[in-house]
Amino acid sequence: MSVKTLKIDGIDVAIAEDATILQAAREAGVPIPTLCHLDGVTDIGACRLCMVEIAGTPRLFPACVTQVAEGMEVSTNTPKLQDYRRMVVELLFAEGNHVCSFCVANGNCELQDVAIEVGMDHSRFPYRFPDRQVDISHPLFGIDHNRCILCTRCVRVCDEIEGAHVWDVAQRGENCYIVSGLNQPWGAVDACTSCGKCVDACPTGSIFRKGETTGEKERDRNKLEFLVRAREKKEWTR
């Protein structure tokens, strides 16, 4: 396998040619905010937070799905990107009903983290206050669509790792929501194995364990990596 060298925010990096800019940036220790990216599942380039500038082109590129190239000069944190990222996070907060003070993920929420990272202390866009549902029909878990940012991590983790494909996206545009089974209550979906990977994958408090209260949600993120390793290398203990 060939190796490419590139510069990320002035830092030289050498990395395998099939790597993405995001992987190269992590190797170089350059932080790039992400939300839809989750190690272990396919990247979809949807949240647009990881957009970066590449010298020689006026376009912006999603770092998670853009392959590195020899001599590439990447800027990850220009004033324009900072400005746009903040707007993206504001749009996310304005389109759902995100109330940290009584959310299970308070203090343990990637949306909150990203808001802090991009310096978003309030939304300049008016809140939409959409009318969204909560589904607690599953015996162990619940999904609160008010807190959903439609990153589709749950969809991908259930489909690609568990192989159950309980989740998908219904409707379009602002009316999109995460749908379980054939638009059934989650508890009525036979395909669900109650493995809880979606709970661990969810960046916000949208998919949670029943019984957890404000700020109590903790995730077992290492479980994904463990499962992949277990399957590939037959190491079934940890």
Partner 1 sequence: MDITELHEIAKQERDRRKPTQIRCCTAAGCLSSGSAAVRDGLEAAVQQTGLEAEVKVCSVGCMRFCGRGPLVEVDPSSTLYEQVTPDDAPSIIAALKGGTATATKGDPNHPFLTRQMPIVLENSGKIDPERIEEYIAAGGYEPLYHVLTEMTPTEVIEEVTKSGLRGRGGGGYPTGLKWATVAKMPPGQKYVICNADEGDPGAFMDRSVLESDPHRVLEGMAIAGYAIGADRGFIYIRAEYPLAIKHLQKAIQQAKKYELLGSQIFGSGFDFKVDIRIGAGAFVCGEETALMHSIQGERGIPRPRPPYPAESGLWGCPTLINNVETYANIAPIIRNGGDWYASIGTEKSKGTKVFALTGKIENTGLIEVPMGTTLRQIVEEMGGGVPNGGKVKGVQTGGPSGGCIPAAFFDTPVDYESLQKLGTMMGSGGMIVMDEETSMVEIAQFYMEFCRDESCGKCIPCRAGTVQLHALLNKIVNRQATQKDLEQLEALCYMVKEMSLCGLGQTAPNPVLSTLKYFKQEYLELLQSPVEDNGKVTVSQSS
Q: How far is the CB of 60 from partner 1 (least distance, A)?
A: 5
Alpha-carbon distance of 118 to 77, in angstroms, equals 10
Alpha-carbon distance of 179 to 174, in angstroms, equals 14
Alpha-carbon distance of 124 to 184, in angstroms, equals 36
CB nearer to partner 1: give 88 or 136. Answer: 88
Q: How far is the CB of 128 from partner 1 (least distance, A)?
A: 7
What SS3 string covers 123-175?
Answer: CCCCCCCCCCCEECCCCCEEEEHHHCCCCCHHHHHHHHHHCCCCEEEECCHHH
Q: Interface residues with partner 1 (CB under 8 A)?
A: 44-48, 51, 59-60, 62, 65, 67, 83-84, 87-88, 91-92, 94-95, 124-126, 128, 149-150, 168-169, 171-176
Which of 133, 125, 126, 122 minimizes the C-alpha distance to 100? 122
106 in Cβ contact with 56 (< 8 Å) = no
Q: Could you say which DSSP state residue 34 is in?
A: -
CB nearer to partner 1: give 25 or 47. Answer: 47
CB nearer to partner 1: give 86 or 138. Answer: 86
Q: How far is the CB of 33 from partner 1 (least distance, A)?
A: 13
Q: How far is the CB of 87 from partner 1 (least distance, A)?
A: 5
Q: How far is the CB of 204 from partner 1 (least distance, A)?
A: 14
